Amino acid sequence: MSETMSEAHMPGSQEIRQSVVDAMHTIYDPEIPIDIYELGLIYEVEADDAGCVRIVMTLTSPMCPVAETLPPEVEAKARGAAGVKEVALELVWEPPWSPAMMSEAARLELGME
């Protein structure tokens, strides 16, 4: 019965994905006061019921001052999210990031609407 009980409390893929997305909201671009998820730097977050997470992300530019530190921070925060057992992070440059990828809330915050 205890196995059934613990299985009932294990988060599913949607809960794990949301936990990772919530973690992404705590990481901010150092030059723009908006979190990286709202900035549109996170292209994909996929999770399965086993806690394996795949994140596809980009940076504002290849010469971004945090190019060395931001991806490891994203991976570390994702690993700390509820239900996550494994993280595969892919840094991509296509499609290139543009301000059009920001959420409406981010554009409003920056006065771009």
Helix orientation angle between 13-24 and 70-79, rounded to the nearest 10 degrees: 140
Question: Which class does domain 2-103 fall in?
Answer: alpha beta
The per-residue pLDDT for range 45-91, each reduced to its tens digit, is 999 999 999 999 999 888 888 889 999 999 999 999 999 999 999 99
Please state, for a pLDDT cut of 70, what percent of the chain lies above it.
90
pTM, to two decimals: 0.87
CA–CA gap between residue 30 and residue 66 (Å, rounded): 8
Q: What is the rounded distance in angstroms from the CA atom of residue 43 to the CA atom of residue 56?
A: 5
